[in-house]
Amino acid sequence: MKNRITELFSIKYPIIQGGMIWNSGWRLASAVSNAGGLGLIGAGSMYPEVLNEHIERCKAATQKPFGVNVPLLYPNIQEIIELILQHRVPIVFTSAGNPATHTARLKAAGITVVHVVSSTKFAKKAEAAGVDAIVAEGFEAGGHNGREESTTLTLIPSVRRATDLPLIAAGGIATGQGMLATMILGADGVQMGSRFVASQEGSGHQLFKDLVVKAGEGATELTLKELTPVRLLKNKFYQDLQGLYQSGASVEELRAHLGRARAKRGMFEGDLDEGELEIGQIASMIDEIKPAATIIEDIIAQYNEALGSLPPSFGLDQ
């Protein structure tokens, strides 16, 4: 498959693995890159020294392009940017912050920069900041999310109309059919997070992966809009949170209940009761933990099968 995304990243397939906190270490990133997609190390859950180790190990594990996902709201951002520059990481995905802050400096170092947005408003700001591509992430996505609640199938054509930049669809995509649907709507590629959580190489706890596979429809909800919107599995922590909402809790009380390291406790350490378990709505369609390479093979096979059933007038390259 050749299009603007495969050419931009020098990859075989326009499939990007989301840089998910506590789930996207060097093993997953290198496995995805070796299989023809673009693997991302999730820097949001890493201190600079930990990220340094993951970059070094990813370099040793793959000769293919890989990237680092950098949530701009996290502490130590300056140290993280310096590390990326020092290692000459070829691709950086930024999110949760102003893309104008670091884009010019990264691009001056020859780094391809992509920014994640949840609306056309932020897509235009990212384009003005000089990014090379945009990820438009819909309401269905797991983890931290936009406040607009625009679904992916609504967001993609809206952003496509607002910008000519290479466009990557994210949120609620875990199959080749979903990939094809977003590309018909104007995307040039897809970013998948939840599907790669349930991979053998994903760095999340096995208990968390098993719970993702068991999740059914309605198992997640977007909450904590007063702080930072996040989509969670409905475990005990979530239920306790809903109790606070029902009692009219203040923002300060919600923040105190959230505390620190909830996501690590749940996704990385396997506390399924008190941890924060971030996953997308598409978890209901994920029923098996597989190697990353097999996941990509399955997606491409599904995509080609679905594409073959379309009339030639669609004109999508195989």
pLDDT in tens, the chain (318 residues): 889 999 999 999 999 999 898 899 999 999 999 999 999 999 988 889 999 999 999 999 999 999 999 988 877 888 999 999 999 999 999 988 889 999 999 999 999 999 999 999 999 999 999 999 999 999 999 888 778 889 999 999 999 999 999 999 999 999 999 999 999 999 999 999 999 999 999 999 999 999 999 999 999 999 898 888 889 999 999 999 999 999 998 999 999 988 888 999 999 999 999 999 999 999 999 999 999 999 999 999 999 999 988 877 665 554
Q: What is the pLDDT at residue 35?
A: 98
* Structural tokens at position 209: 């992966």
Residues 149, 231: Cα–Cα separation, whole Å:
11
- Three-state DSSP at 264 gives helix
Q: What is the b/e burial string over 270-291, where b = at least 16 CB atoms within 10 angstroms of the residue's CB? A: bbbeebbbbbbbbbbbbeebbe
pLDDT of residue 247: 92
pLDDT of residue 132: 97
How confident is the model at residue 313, as a pLDDT? 63
Rg (CA), the chain: 18
Whole-number pLDDT of residue 265: 94
Per the CB < 8 A criterion, the answer to whether 150 and 185 are in contact is no
* pLDDT at 73 (0 to 100): 81
- What letter does residue 165 receive in the DSSP assignment? S
Helix or strand run (H / E) with residue 67: strand 66-71
Calculate the CA 223 to chain-centre distance. Answer: 18
Q: Residue 279: its pLDDT value, please?
A: 96
